[in-house]
Amino acid sequence: MSHTSTLKHAEAAAQFINDEPRTNWHDETLWFVRQKRDKAAHGLPEWEQLREWASQIKNHTLSNLDNYLLEFERNAKANGVTVHWAMDGADHNRIIYDIIQKNNIQKIVKSKSMLTEECGLNEFLHTKGIETVDTDLGERIVQFRNEPPSHIVLPAIHLKKQDVSDTFHEHLNTEKGNNDPQYLTEAARQHLREKFIESELAITGVNFAVAETGGFVVCTNEGNADMGAHAAKIHIACMGFEKMIPKAEHLSVFLRLLARSATGQPITTYSSHFHKPREGQEMHIVIVDNGRSRQLGRADFRNSLKCIRCAACFNTCPVYRRSGGHSYHTAVAGPIGSILNPNIDMRANADLPFASTLCGSCSNVCPVKIDIHDQLWKWRQVLVAEGYVDTTKKVGLKGMAFLLARPRLYRFAGKMGRGVMRLFPWLVNNKLNPWYKQREMPAPPKQSFRDWYLQNKK
């Protein structure tokens, strides 16, 4: 899906909030998911231990990634799988297109893969005249609407039943105004079943790639990855290179954490282990870099690559819940997206690390212990140093820093401007003071604390 919106996060969020009842509904729905996650996490006495193990396994893997990737490739090849290496998104798309052309393929189904969103695979194939059918229910809904997913686990979470009903009426000819979830799901099921049966190629993502076996695991709740992979004569699995884990036994840590963190389920309905192509089938794995090795080289940000895409940080983020996924204008939204995307394109995504209050809830829910809010803070420093921050902001903060480094000047400015908060330039730097739009200013006191202290204590 194309990200046609070029609005910065703050503007897009303001538009989202314009519809306050819908914003409340979005917030409450995701908060409900966060609560389910809490219940699942608090039900396991070993929860914090599991997080620590997951973090250590991922840290170890990232530190030895070259070896594990080669081990994985060797074992996968021995299993009869073709392994491809893609430098970037364009490379990834070309590799898939080559396979399509070589086999003269017309019908493609794809289960959820945020990597293919990141690489813009659907749009790329569209320009080549090839249509891909997304088979995850939420993804199919947004695909009909020509929208990108707004959430990596719940792609259509920004939509209500009525929206789905309208969409299906238009594309699947369901009854107008019938909002019954069971009716709508059944319509999608019949529609997708047809697509599965006629498909020639199935594309899936990868949740975990196991170096010692060359196998990989795909987690879904709908079984759509399996339906696709089992019906089509070719299966292509696409993965960012950080999906690696050393051993199959490590799955016992990650599979316990993933679904609990994502939706509060003990485990996803389907955790499918793929090892080798079945008789007569072709199986490919595309391993993608697309900026990941650059991120691996950034000491402050490398451990963002531990991410297992559970979206717990989305659901807990008070900003995400009130601004919607599209306001992040990237394939991966939310707090984790805000630390991954500046690496991919610093200029285009310079607003994202500022779309946070640094409350720290994201780091607390992260099942692999990524210090997300600290990395947001660090990205802000990088973005300012690299010159990606507005001049007005820069001027205001420079003035403020100047003042606050000079005690006498600070006190003078305070006396002059206490009523209008001249001290804090971001509050009064223009006539359309954004503080005052929906908030009163603090009432100016007669004297500062220091003045009181001098009068009463000295």
Partner 1 sequence: MHADEHSHIKNEQMKVGLFIPCYIDQFYPNVGIATLQLLEKLGCHVSFPLNQTCCGQPMANSGFASLSKSCDKNFVSNFRGFDYIVGPSGSCVLHLKEHLHDEQHPGEAEHIRKHVYELTEFLVDVLKVEKLNASFPYKVGLHNSCHGQRGLHLSSMSERNLPAFSKPQQLLNMVQGLELKMPSRPDECCGFGGTFCVFEEAVSVKMGKDRIADHASNEVQYITGGDTSCLMHLEGILKRNGSKVKTIHIAEILNSNA
Question: Which of the residues 417 through 456 are near partner 1 (CB under 8 A)?
Answer: 418, 421, 423-424, 426-427, 433-435, 437-442, 444-445, 447-454
User: What backbone torsions phi and psi does residue 232 show, to the nearest 5 degrees?
Assistant: -90, 155
For partner 1, the closer of residues 102 and 458 by Cβ is 458
- The DSSP element (H or E) to which 57 belongs, if any, is helix 47-63
Give me the phi and psi of 99, to 5 degrees please.
-65, -40
355-368 residues labelled b (16+ CB within 10 A) or e (exposed): bbeeeebbbebbbb
Contact flag: residue 400 with partner 1 (CB under 8 A) = yes
Q: Using CB under 8 A, which residues numbered 151 to 210 contact partner 1?
A: none
Cα separations in angstroms, 352 against 8, 124, 343, 356? 8, 26, 11, 8
Q: Which amino acid is at 216?
A: F
* Span near partner 1 by CB under 8 A; candidates 121-129, 273-281, 331-339, 384-392: 384-392
Least distance from partner 1 to the Cβ atom of residue 101, Å: 46
Q: Which member of 3, 5, 22, 27 binds partner 1 (CB under 8 A)?
A: 27
Name the residue nearer to partner 1 (CB basis): 102 or 457.
457
109 — phi, psi (to 5°)? -115, 150
> Is residue 7 involved in binding partner 1 (CB under 8 A)?
no
Please give the residues from 262 up to 301 whose contact with partner 1 meets the rule CB under 8 A. Answer: none
* Touching partner 1, residues 36-75 (CB under 8 A): 38, 41-42, 44-45, 47-48
Q: What whole-number distance in Å separates Cα of residue 391 and Cα of residue 75?
A: 53
Give the residue, chosen from 227, 319, 331, 333, that forms a contact with partner 1 under the rule CB under 8 A: 319
Radius of gyration of the chain (CA): 25
Report residue 57 as tokens: 């396994």
Minimum Å gap between C-beta 2 and partner 1 is 25
Beta strands 132-134 and 215-220 are unpaired
Number of chain residues interacting with partner 1 (CB under 8 A): 80
Name which of 252 and 447 has its Cβ closer to partner 1: 447
Q: Quote the least distance from Cβ 360 to partner 1, whole Å.
A: 4
User: Where do we find the tokens 């897009």?
Assistant: 12
Q: Should residue 401 be labelled a site residue for partner 1 when binding is judged by CB under 8 A?
A: yes
Minimal distance, residue 230 CB to partner 1, in Å: 38
139 token code pair = 């993804």
For the chain, the first-to-last Cα distance in angstroms comes to: 67
- Tokens 């223009």, residue located: 430
From the list 82-90, 120-128, 267-275, 318-326, the region that binds partner 1 by CB under 8 A is 318-326
| 348 lines the binding site for partner 1 (CB under 8 A) | no
Side-chain-side CA neighbours of 427 within 13 Å: the count stands at: 16
Among 17, 248, 346, 348, binds partner 1 (CB under 8 A): 17
What's the min distance (Å) between Cβ of 446 and partner 1? 8
Q: Cβ distance 339 to 295 under 8 Å?
A: no
Stretch that binds partner 1, among 96-104, 190-198, 282-290, 363-371 (CB under 8 A): 363-371
Question: Which of residues 121 and 153 has its CB atom nearest to partner 1 in the complex?
Answer: 153
Contacts to partner 1 from residues 298-317, by CB under 8 A? 316
Considering only the stretches 124-132, 143-151, 301-309, 404-412, report the one whose residues sit in contact with partner 1 under the rule CB under 8 A. 404-412
Q: Which is nearer to partner 1, 267 or 395 (CB)?
A: 395
**From CA 147, how far away is CA 400, in angstroms rounded?**
42
Closer residue to partner 1 in complex, CB, 273/406: 406
DSSP secondary structure code for residue 181 in this structure: H
Of 323, 338, 341, 375, the one binding partner 1 (CB under 8 A) is 323
For position 14 contacting partner 1 by CB under 8 A, the verdict is yes
Q: What values do phi and psi take at 111, rounded to 5?
A: -90, 175
**Is-contact 218 202, C-beta < 8 A?**
no
